[in-house]
Chain A
Amino acid sequence: MTQGLVLAIETSCDETAAAVVADGKHVLSSVVSSQVDIHARYGGVVPEVASRAHVDLITPVIAQTLIEAGIEHHDLDLVAATRGPGLIGSLLVGVSAAKSLALVWNKPFIGVNHLEGHLYSSFLEEPDLELPMIILLVSGGHTMLVSMDKHLTYRVLGQTLDDAAGEAYDKVARYLGLGYPGGPIIDKLATSGQAEISFPRPMIGEGYDFSFSGLKTAVINYVRKNPDELDENIAASFQEAVVEVLVTKTIRAAKDENAVSVCIGGGVAANSRLREAILDACPKEGLKPFIPSRSYCTDNAAMIGAAAWRRFKHDGPSDLATGADPNLRIPE
């Protein structure tokens, strides 16, 4: 019999997602219904639009997840949902659904930290990753370097002082009139461009914090002065600057902290140049890199199921009076 069957729900931003995960590592099913087309019209995620879409999508997504996993609700051992950080209206939909299902199915409920979910996404495909590990968590909302010394124990070494890496991608893409979301568009353009423009590498030599606002401004100023420059070259050069900063700091952190492994997570971890650069740099420094599949880098509920089961075994269930916390931080 399968042990530790978790139904996990993730609605922190603009993906309505549910998954069934066994024992915190075997994914039986993972359904992600993206609202990206809805938000593309507005050039960014509009919270009220996202919340409304979650209400419409949540039950069909959960139903589909159970069907794909081939299980009945009687088989479940835990119902989990992301309780923060994220958009409050979106989080409340997932938390309300999970608590209600836990109540009627008479199962324990647990509220999960979205960031802890990202930190655990690597373990879905590589359950035996060795600790201590440095994780670079990069998305539209977050840019941070985290040291996982042992399971469920973290230290945030550094984070962005202004824009998140994904946010910088979105803003540059928007300025160039390329559309939304910026990450995949710039990634694709960059493959046919030359990274010859020398954009600044903000704070590359100092500490573990990041700053991408100045880089974004440098790109915009360059485009103003050189209106004929190819978008492909701008994309490649901008991407090279972002990736070099991310990788340099990640490797330095791993060496300083005597880490064994290096992982990446978050939407920007789906970026092809970043994946390539991490895989390239780590072995040179004697570090073992692990790069999750793209579908486990972007927001998904499987990672929430992985974190949920670990937390549940350690802390037990959450109270049914649990609400959402839009500003939840990584537990340290």
Chain B
Amino acid sequence: MLILGIESSTSQVGCAIGGHEGVLASAHSSRGKRHAENLTPQIEFVCEQARVGLQEISVVAVDIGPGLYTGLRVGVTSAVSIAFGLNIPMIGVTSLDLVAYPIRHCQKLIVAAVDARRDEIFHANYRQVPGGIQRISEPAVTSPEDLSAELLASNDEVQLVGDGAIRYADHFKDLKGVEPAEPGLAFPSASSLVQLAHAKALREDFVKPSELKPLYLRKPDALEIDKQKRRVDR
């Protein structure tokens, strides 16, 4: 079983191929706003590197967000189109699961925090369980102030991870028992996606391309709608 993983919900875009033998090849780039340009050539590149033809892929895994909407849509649309084009199933994984995954051996409460822009953070909590970690809260969006207040009230030893924790580091740096995020692990990686998806694939935890939906967590921006109305009223 070969899995193609696509990840583009942050300022980064990446993809990887892997399966039983682990990750065979991966690529990522972090030049902001270049998701659509970079992704398709990247997929070609990882196939070449892994010496795999696209026809041999049996599952497409994708980061379904939450994250930055434009990049997220490029990744989800590309992944769904590939799965549709090859007539194969999909696996969706949240960006928060992806940033928590590399620190799965941590004993503390893991809080994944992805930058949501406009002074907000997407976040979820994780606990260690035998064989990995488990998400113990639903992905949510909140202000850094509210998240830091929540952490302060929890009395848990906390490990923060994700680019949201780095961008709003000032809100978390003086909190007792809260360990700041490590910059090297700030972004979801396509390699983690392939590894996580592999475990899910063994349980046949698949969705059809038509069932896969991005996780936005916010309604279409009210500000944007007001702006549009003003434009029309001009």
Contacts and interface: CB of A to CB of B under 8 A. Distances in A.
Interface string B73-108: 110111111101110000000000000000000000
A126 B79 CA distance: 38
B232 A51 contact: no
B224 interface: yes
Contacts of B209: 59
A29 to B, nearest CB: 17
Majority secondary structure, A binding face: helix
A164 interface: no
B77 A100 contact: yes
Given A58-B77, A73-B85, A320-B44, A89 B37 contact: no
Contacts of A59: 80-81, 84, 209-210
Interface in A81-124: 88-89, 92-93, 95-97, 99-101, 103-105
Contact of B37 (A51, A88, A321): A321
A101 B81 CA distance: 6
Contacts of B137: none
Contacts of A155: none
A96 B84 contact: no
B69 interface: yes
B54 interface: yes
B38 A55 contact: no
Given A100-B81, A321-B38, 11 more contacts: A43-B232, A47-B224, A49-B225, A52-B214, A55-B73, A96-B39, A100-B78, A101-B85, A104-B82, A104-B86, A320-B40
Interface of A: 42-49, 51-52, 54-56, 58-60, 62-63, 73, 88-89, 92-93, 95-97, 99-101, 103-105, 170-171, 174, 320-324
17 contacts: A44-B229, A47-B228, A58-B80, A59-B80, A59-B81, A88-B70, A89-B69, A96-B73, A96-B81, A97-B78, A99-B40, A100-B78, A101-B84, A103-B40, A104-B82, A320-B40, A321-B40
